[in-house]
Amino acid sequence: MFEEPGDYCRAYGMEYAARQAERLDHAIRILIGESPSRWAPFVHTGYPYHAYLFRLGERTQSWIVYTFDEETKVIRLLRLWGTSRFEKTFSLT
- What residues form DSSP beta bridges with 81? 63
If you count them, how many residues does the chain have?
A: 93
**Who's near 90: CB < 8 A, 6+ residues apart?**
44, 45, 79, 81
Query: If DSSP codes are grouped into helix, strand and coil, which group holds residue 17?
Result: helix
Domains of the chain by residue range: 3-89
pTM tops 0.75: yes
Q: Determine the Cα–Cα distance for residues 36 and 19; give it in Å rounded to an integer.
A: 23
pLDDT tens per residue across span 1-51: 445 666 777 777 888 888 888 999 999 999 999 999 998 898 888 899 999
CATH annotation of 3-89: 3.30.2310
The pLDDT of residue 67: 95
According to the model, what pLDDT value does residue 76 have? Answer: 95
Q: What is the pLDDT of residues 57-91, one digit of tens each?
A: 777 888 899 999 999 999 999 988 877 664 555 55
> Nearest-CA neighbor of 80 among 93, 68, 66, 70?
66
